[in-house]
Amino acid sequence: MLMVISPAKTLDFETPAVTDKSSTPDFLKDSRALIKELRELSPADISGLMSISDKLGLLNFDRFQAFKTPFTAKNAKQAVLAFQGDVYTGLNAEAFKARDFDFAQKHLRILSGLYGLLRPLDLIQPYRLEMGTKFRNARGDNLYQFWGESLTQALNQQLAEQNSHTLINLASNEYFKAVKPKQLDADIITPVFKDWKNGQYKIISFFAKKARGMMSAYIIANRIKDAEQIKAFNMDGYAFDPELSSQRDWVFTRRQD
């Protein structure tokens, strides 16, 4: 079983990593090709492309210029520890033990606009490049065209290596669009998290993102390989709701009085 999550815009490269283990991204050659084209953009170009402030445009211009391989513990950090934000607050990888990292390395994947598909311990350098960015490149008009079918093929290969046909989609729509579901040799289960508000259950972005991270942590902590066991997820007041769920969209609800 594999699960996929989104990356985060917020990064932490200052806090020392809690593990010395690391790996190299599988699509680093593609990342270098993207960086080569991104380096041709001015700070103002980057600000316009990403709809960000001039200050952030300059920051990411500097990041693209500073990108350098090979990645080492001195110039890069493990992806699951570098990414911050709501999903990663819920995941809380800083509390992982060695066996947790080992299980996550095999079963958790992070979709990325720059790195394609990351394992948790893959080293990355600071960047900002959301998958939905309409960056015209040598392979097409946007990043979805840049990555094409490569991420789907990689997921299929990794599922086959595990003799599994289940993928747990805990990524945002923006990032999961980089995967071709019809070409994926897997049953796709998408957990959906809803909170009670104004008389009905609704998806509240902040809570839903954190819950995706918590479910990832739950799967890792309990070494879950059978998707049915996910229905027992009960962290932070969430519970599986069979009436709101469908065969592939599993809804977890919470009421906070």
- Phi, psi (deg, nearest 5) at residue 66: -85, -10
pLDDT in tens, 54-87: 999 999 999 999 999 999 999 999 999 999 999 9
pLDDT in tens, 34-57: 999 999 999 999 999 999 999 999
Q: What is the band of 2 on the pLDDT scale with cuts at 50, 70, 90?
A: very high
pLDDT in tens, 235-247: 999 999 999 999 9
Q: What is the band of 256 on the pLDDT scale with cuts at 50, 70, 90?
A: confident
pLDDT of residue 257: 66
pLDDT in tens, 101-151: 999 999 999 999 999 999 999 999 999 999 999 999 999 999 999 999 999
Domain boundaries, the chain: 2-26+75-254
